[in-house]
Amino acid sequence: MPRFALKIEYDGAPFCGWQKQVDLPTVQGVINVALQQLEPTCEGVQGAGRTDTGVHATGQVGHVDLVKAIAPERLMEALNFYMRNQGVAIVDCAMAPDDFHARFSAVERRYTFRLLGRRAPMTFDKGTMWQVKHALDLKAMQAGAKYLIGKHDFTTFRSTVCQAKSPVKSLDELSIEQLPYRGGVETRFHIQARSFLHNQVRSFVGTLERVGAGSWEPVQVKAALEAKSRAACGPVCPPQGLYLSAVRYEMDPFSPPPHAGKSSG
């Protein structure tokens, strides 16, 4: 039974998250319906991560097993045909080893959060960024973010309904940059780790926004982390600026094998 890896992007606004739910629109549900148009007995797609309601993806990864043999490019085209106008697209498709698992084989996940500081309302990018009307101090936010890098007990930045067995996680990267945006400034947060707690990224961004706005001093992020209490967290930011932007594997299923296509002569 061939296994396929899928690289998926989606607009999270119309969906109640990634994971399929009865009588609610979800990304996994849309893909599963499309798969069953091709193969009614297909058990569906498994994803690398469960994004929440309203969260987007530019680099979600899934895997699916099919009975029929089909070229990856034809599978991609067929799924995109059946999912047209639904805000979900397969942007890459490849054959994967039988032991590849979109979730359990992942060694790193990368999220990007987009925050717009501008007084004027958004027009073209509405629903794709969190907007505030004040300026944000980049250096202050970067100073606060440094306290979060490394291995810590992230209880403060964990949802009370988080089902992870332990609040201890290793955060590999939390970098922040600012870019000019029409009449304002876009702040982008890049967060990378093997795995995340529920609402961890949105808790980071909401807290660091308070630092950038001048309501918190950078060192208060350290105090909040060490408190190991949800009450010490800053506000949790809304989901519309959050993107699952990449998932990394030891053996990338979308990369050609070494020396592929090279002449032996």
What band does 262 get if pLDDT is binned at 50, 70 and 90? Answer: low
Average pLDDT of the segment spanning 7-23: 97
pLDDT of residue 265: 44
Average pLDDT of the segment spanning 84-90: 97
Torsion angle (degrees, nearest 10) of CA 70, 71, 74, 78: 30
Residue 259 has pLDDT above 90, yes or no: no
> What pTM does this model have?
0.94
Average pLDDT of the segment spanning 115-139: 97
Average pLDDT of the segment spanning 227-233: 98
State which amino acid sits at residue 3: R
- Name 178's bridge partners: 187
Q: Per mean pLDDT, which range of 128-137, 232-241, 249-258 is the poorest? A: 249-258
What band does 256 get if pLDDT is binned at 50, 70 and 90? Answer: confident
Q: Per mean pLDDT, which range of 28-32, 179-183, 256-260 is the poorest? A: 256-260
Taking the alpha carbons of 84, 13, 125, 112 in that order, is the dihedral positive or negative?
A: negative
Mean pLDDT for all residues in the chain: 96
pLDDT-above-90 percentage for the chain: 95
> Active-site residue numbers?
52
Please give the full DSSP string across 135-193, using - where no structure is assigned: ---HHHHHHHHHTTSEEEE-GGGS-TT---S-SEEEEEEEEEEEEEETTEEEEEEEEEE
Domains, the chain, with CATH or none: 3-104 (3.30.70.580), 106-247 (3.30.70.660)
What band does 264 get if pLDDT is binned at 50, 70 and 90? Answer: very low
What band does 257 get if pLDDT is binned at 50, 70 and 90? Answer: low
